[in-house]
Amino acid sequence: MTGARAPGWVAVAGLGPGNAALVTPEVAAALAQASDVVGYAPYVARVPLRAGLARHPSDNRVELDRAALALDLAAAGRRVVVVSSGDPGVFAMASALFEAAEGRAMLPDIRILPGITAMLAAAARAGAPLGHDFCAINLSDNLKPMAVIEHRIRHAAQGGFAMAFYNPRSAARPHQFARVLDLLREECEPARLLVFARAVTTPDERLLTVTLAEAEPQMADMRTVVIVGNEATRRVGRWVYTPRGAAR
Amino acid sequence: MTGARAPGWVAVAGLGPGNAALVTPEVAAALAQASDVVGYAPYVARVPLRAGLARHPSDNRVELDRAALALDLAAAGRRVVVVSSGDPGVFAMASALFEAAEGRAMLPDIRILPGITAMLAAAARAGAPLGHDFCAINLSDNLKPMAVIEHRIRHAAQGGFAMAFYNPRSAARPHQFARVLDLLREECEPARLLVFARAVTTPDERLLTVTLAEAEPQMADMRTVVIVGNEATRRVGRWVYTPRGAAR
């Protein structure tokens, strides 16, 4: 093997919710070793420029193209970090990488490096609203029909789960989240607590706790995670938490 | 205020799954500033001794006593870090702290510092089995009846969620997880993929992927997180992932 090219690799890394103090040392080390950073442009922009580092920013909604690029670069011997916000395994690039890997005869060395996902950063800022059994649901209907989303929300509510909604509302689907609130009102009591957590740990952070009766669609946007408590979720001081025991 | 005692504080911090490279800089900074560390003994043992740091290890299942101690120490002006494994907001000490805070007239400064929770560390090691909508369920029946656990698993399965089970099996309840597997077999197809992820990121790490037909209760213990895929969860190479789109 003398003189052989060093093998390439791909690490899919979670940058956390925004604050550099929430980037794990493992992810920082991978970025320090990388020859290439691949990802959605706003996340690539969070990686500082340095000599020897090529940055490959791309648009939203091209996850499979981005994943294929990362695999191709690694196959050519490059050291590639695919960056995701939050955790790469939660509604982010890790699944896309494996989808792109299907059918390839050879895979490079792959590592998935976890990060602080948005719902857990949001929960920490609010208190402990996910302190008992909970569900994470992506409200984007890009990749699944609205009927599936509604079906899941009903089962989550009837099962007594707290819920965290990712991508609750976008310019392309302004009315969908109003429908989600209507559905929650069919399944849950008006006093149920909701936390709208926007851009947590960044300078744009905004936290709003309301009851389901008070909730309005425009309280959410694409940078918001919405947490719906279970029926036992309560306030203490400025905090919101869900007790560890079952509601009944 | 000249001469006034500096105010105390409590930070409830997630140490991640075990590897020091997964402790966030935010948590490391809080530990560096702490006068007191409070927690379940194995987690306190993960914090290095240093001059000026008092360690208060305690037994399992005394979460409320531990939380009250932390609040008392902070009220006396101490700088207290309550340590949890994983993330403090997921089946850990953050909810217990707020439970203990109920009814106190004055609360100290409180911060919840997120960490890498076990299911996301386990998912990263396995691939991306939680890459679509999922639920997190604590199988411990210390604080909720088994009927509630069964009710939630049924709704999670019928809703098409992947699932992550915390505390699946202990010496005190060796038979319960067999019942959970039976229940999954009623709700899911035999080819459904399960990942048994034990002590991930530690020297004791062990990862096992099997079908539901192959799963056996003794594959889990107290250090295991069990991930149940959804019906679309599949293998590619040595990896397990859940596609980003809906199963149907």
Percent of chain A with pLDDT over 90: 88
Q: Which residue from A141, A195, A138, A133 is spatially nearest to A165, judged by alpha carbons?
A: A138
Q: What is the ipTM of this complex?
A: 0.96
- Burial category of A26 from C-beta neighbours within 10 Å (exposed 0-12, middle 13-18, buried 19 and up): buried
pLDDT exceeds cutoff 90 at A5? no
Size of interface A-B (CB pairs under 8 A): 227
Percent of chain B with pLDDT over 90: 88
Mutation target among B120, B166, B202 for the A interface, most CBs of A within 10 A: B120
Which pLDDT belongs to residue A1?
44
Q: Which of B21, B98, B241 sits opposite A98 (nearest CB)?
A: B241
Which pLDDT belongs to residue B1?
44
Q: Do B246 and A145 touch (CB under 8 A)?
A: yes
pLDDT exceeds cutoff 50 at A99? yes
| DSSP designation for B16 | B
pLDDT exceeds cutoff 70 at B3? no
Please name the residue of chain A whose CA is at the shortest distance from the CA of residue B122: A114
DSSP string, chain A: -TTPPPPPEEEEEE-BSS-GGGS-HHHHHHHHH-SEEEEEHHHHTTSPP-TT-EEEEE-TT-HHHHHHHHHHHHHTT-EEEEEESB-TTSSSHHHHHHHHHTT-S---EEEEE----HHHHHHHHHEETTSSSEEEEE---SSS-HHHHHHHHHHHHHTT-EEEEES--BTTBTTHHHHHHHHHHHHS-TT-EEEEEESTTSTT-EEEEEETTT--GGG--TTEEEEE--TT-EEETTEEE--SS---
Instruction: Retrieve residue A160's tokens.
Output: 């007594």
Mutation target among B19, B23, B26, B113 for the A interface, most CBs of A within 10 A: B26
Mutation target among A62, A95, A142, A148 for the B interface, most CBs of B within 10 A: A95
Q: What is the tens place of the pLDDT at every residue in A156-188?
A: 999 999 999 999 988 888 789 999 999 999 999
Instruction: Please give the mean pLDDT across all residues of chain A.
Output: 94
Q: Tell me the pLDDT band of B170, cut-offs 50, 70 and 90.
A: confident
Average pLDDT, integer, range B19-23: 98
Q: What is the tens place of the pLDDT at every residue in B33-50?
A: 999 999 999 999 999 899
Which pLDDT belongs to residue A4?
64
Q: How far is B186 from chain A (nearest CA, A)?
A: 17
pLDDT exceeds cutoff 80 at A193? yes
Q: Which of B89, B120, B245 sits opposite A128 (nearest CB)?
A: B89
Average pLDDT, integer, range A210-224: 96
Q: Tell me the pLDDT band of B103, cut-offs 50, 70 and 90.
A: confident
Q: What is the tens place of the pLDDT at every residue in B108-151?
A: 999 999 999 999 999 999 999 999 999 999 998 777 899 999 99
Q: Which of B96, B112, B148 sits opposite A244 (nearest CB)?
A: B96
The CA distance from B244 to B130, in Å, is 9
Average pLDDT, integer, range B232-246: 94
Which pLDDT belongs to residue B232?
97
Percent of chain B with pLDDT over 70: 97
Residues of A in contact with B152 (CB under 8 A): 133, 159-161
Q: How far is A176 from chain B (nearest CA, A)?
A: 17
pLDDT exceeds cutoff 80 at A6? no
Residues of B in contact with A100 (CB under 8 A): none
Q: Do B151 and A128 touch (CB under 8 A)?
A: no
Q: In this structure, are residues A245 and B144 in contact, taking their beta carbons and an 8 Å threshold? A: yes
pLDDT exceeds cutoff 60 at A105? yes
Strand partners, B206: B198
Q: Tell me the pLDDT band of B246, cut-offs 50, 70 and 90.
A: low
Residues of B in contact with A91 (CB under 8 A): 131-132, 244
Residues of B in contact with A97 (CB under 8 A): 128
Q: Which of B20, B99, B133 sits opposite A137 (nearest CB)?
A: B133
Q: What is the tens place of the pLDDT at every residue in A136-150?
A: 999 987 778 999 999
Q: Which of A90, A135, A145 sits opposite B135 (nearest CB)?
A: A135
Q: Tell me the pLDDT band of A248, cut-offs 50, 70 and 90.
A: very low
Residues of B in contact with A98 (CB under 8 A): 127-128, 131, 236, 239, 241
| Number of neighbours of residue B60 by Cβ within 10 angstroms | 10
Please name the residue of chain B whose CA is at the shortest distance from the CA of residue A118: B114
Domains and their CATH numbers in chain A: 9-116 (3.40.1010.10), 119-241 (3.30.950.10)
Residues of B in contact with A127 (CB under 8 A): 94, 98, 112
